Amino acid sequence: MVSEQSPPPPPPKEVGEYELKEWARENEELEDQGPPREAKWWYSAFHTVTAMVGAGVLSLPNAMAYLGWGPGTFILVLSWCITLFTIWQMIELHEIVPGGTRFDRYYQLGQHAFGPKLGPWVVLPQQLIVQVGCDIVYMVTGGKCLKKFMEIACTDCTRLKQSYWICIFGSIHLFLSQLPNFNSVAGVSLAAAIMSLSYSTISWVACLSKGQVNNVSYGYKNTTPADNMFRVFNALGQISFAFAGHAVVLEIQATIPSTPSKPSKIPMWKGARTAYFITAICYFPVAMIGYWAFGQDVEDNLLLALKRPEWLIAAANMMVVIHVIGSYQVYAMPVFDMIENIFVKRLKFQRGFPLRLVTRSTYVGLTLFFGVTFPFFGDLLGFFGGFGFAPTSYFVRL
């Protein structure tokens, strides 16, 4: 299915004649080089689930431990409602300009709102913090869960360092990263979405069957006021990370065909509603039941607190691995596209497998390096949440 070519979005009136020509040329090139528009509404549903329901769901009980029942529940519900509203805004803005123009990338919408020069500087840093930050976190998470799975499944096997497992996990992406576009990773993304629902369900069901730990306490942790303040902000950052899927919404919608009678926002919004329903049945039971079972002593990864039955916990860890494989690719695809466009437009490289092999392998190698070097990177999510996750999901109004 081939869509009609669309004219570039009109820039602000202050743009000069030369900038106008550059604006039109660049957007026409991006339109020609965009992903095939063949996706259905359910593609957008599982791509959005894969992008949003990451391993961060397992840290929600820990965030509840620092916020408490009342504030924690309120923040979770409020975050779900606000981000559902903002994702609807993004979907509507995708074709806000009359004449069939489509903003297939986040920064294109930023250019339309703030101008060709200022727009990328407003949007790109935040988007890259989310995408690259999530990919590094998923490198670490995938390695940790692979290590946990092998320790449970093979008690007699030689124990490997966590850094080795991160390298094993990263090597998978050296192959998957060569898939050309979003449509080509649809199968991986679907498997990841199914896994996210599965391990979330296993987590809260295992907590229910285990019951409350002895002397469970729901009081605030006994820390200094300054430490408690930072931990509360970190908890808010963890929740922001859990709702960080907006950074790839426009890129997902770009794969859906659009006609005047049936614009892409109709199937995309249907997919987003489905994704948010799945998000709710993943997030709320894990956060509430995990906190109910362990109280203030809950681990920052709920699966680490569960010991029995071993086969089920091992299966859940492998499900997390499969899920973060898909999540890594969903967040990496827009970055790949951005890097390759720079090489093609500015350095006059030809598109194709050689360019993909070099640029994407380099990106995977860099995220792998940071994952091995900074295995505590996930602890910085609260810090990065204020810079990237919260703006792109909660209050960036383009």
Give tens-digit pLDDT for 178-191. 888 777 777 888 88
CA angle 394, 76, 287 (to 5 degrees): 135
| pLDDT at res. 366 | 93
- The arithmetic mean of pLDDT across residues 38-54, rounded, is 80
- Residue 3 pLDDT more than 70? no
| Neighbour tally for 44: CB within 10 Å | 26
Q: How many CB atoms lie within 10 A of CB 161?
A: 11
Provide the residue type at 59 as one letter. S
**1: pLDDT confidence band, cut at 50, 70 and 90?**
very low
Confidence at residue 360, expressed as pLDDT on a 0 to 100 scale: 92
Res. 128: pLDDT tops 90: no
| Residue 4 to residue 21: CA distance in whole angstroms | 21
Per-residue model confidence (pLDDT) at position 386: 58
Q: Which residue has the higher pLDDT, 393 or 121?
A: 121
> What is the SS3 assignment for 58?
helix
pLDDT above 60 for 214: yes
Residue 4 has pLDDT above 50, yes or no: no
d(CA 207, CA 308): 10
CA–CA gap between residue 323 and residue 194 (Å, rounded): 8
Q: Tell me the CATH number at 375.
A: 1.20.1740.10
- 84 domain residue, yes or no: yes
Q: Give CA–CA dist 161/144, Å, rounded.
A: 10
Q: Please count the structural domains in the chain.
A: 1
Residue 257 pLDDT greater than 80, yes or no: yes
Determine, yes or no, domain membership for 102.
yes
pLDDT of 248 higher than 90? no
Query: In this structure, is residue 214 part of a structural domain?
Result: yes
Q: Is the pLDDT of residue 137 over 50?
A: yes
Q: How far lies 177's CA from each of 74, 109, 173, 278, 343, in Å?
A: 39, 26, 5, 27, 17
If one compares 143 and 27, the residue with the highest pLDDT of the two is 143
Determine the average pLDDT of the residues in 66-82: 89
pLDDT of residue 105: 80
pLDDT at residue 365 tops 80: yes
Query: Could you tell me if residue 290 is inside a domain?
Result: yes
If one compares 273 and 97, the residue with the highest pLDDT of the two is: 273
Average pLDDT over residues 104-121: 78
Answer whether residue 2 is part of any domain: no
List own/partner pairs for 274-279 with CB under 8 A and 24 or more apart: 274/41, 274/42, 274/45, 275/44, 275/45, 275/46, 275/48, 275/49, 275/52, 275/245, 276/80, 276/84, 276/87, 278/45, 278/49, 278/53, 278/193, 278/196, 278/197, 279/49, 279/52, 279/53, 279/80
What is the end-to-end Cα distance of the chain in Å, rounded? 30
Of all residues in the chain, the percent with pLDDT exceeding 70 is: 83
- Per residue in 18-36, pLDDT (tens digit) is 444 444 444 444 444 555 6
Q: Tell me whether residue 24 is in a domain.
A: no
What confidence score (pLDDT) does residue 377 get?
Answer: 55
C-alpha 365/C-alpha 105 separation (Å) is: 25
CA–CA dist 113, 93 (Å, integer): 11
**How does residue 285 score in pLDDT terms, banded at 50, 70 and 90?**
very high
Quote the pLDDT of residue 21. Answer: 45
- With bands split at pLDDT 50, 70 and 90, how would you rate the model's confidence at 12? very low
**Averaged confidence pLDDT in the chain:** 79
Q: Would 168 be classed as within a structural domain?
A: yes
| 19 or 352: which leads in pLDDT | 352
Is the model's pLDDT at 266 over the cut of 60? yes
Judge whether 238 and 389 are in contact, CB under 8 Å.
Answer: no
pLDDT digits (tens, 9 = 90+) for 288-306: 998 898 888 787 778 777 7
Residue 180 is part of which domain span?
39-395
Task: Return the pLDDT at 367.
Answer: 92
Helix 162-176 vs helix 353-373: angle between axes, to the nearest 10 degrees? 160
What value does the mean pLDDT take over residues 283-287?
Answer: 91
pTM, full prediction? 0.78
Whole-number Cα distances in Å, 30 to 96, 220, 304, 338: 18, 51, 44, 10
* 398 has a pLDDT exceeding 70: no
Q: Decide if pLDDT at 372 tops 50.
A: yes
What pLDDT is stored for residue 126 in this prediction? 79
Lowest-pLDDT choice from 46-55, 317-326, 336-345 = 46-55
Residue 172 dihedral angles phi and psi, to the nearest 5°: -60, -40
Q: Is the peptide bond before 309 cis (omega within 30 degrees of 0)?
A: yes
**C-alpha to C-alpha distances, 97 to 11, 12, 93, 233, nearest whole angstrom:** 11, 12, 8, 38
Q: Is the pLDDT of residue 218 over 80?
A: no
Task: Kindly tell me if the per-residue pLDDT of 244 is higher than 50.
Answer: yes
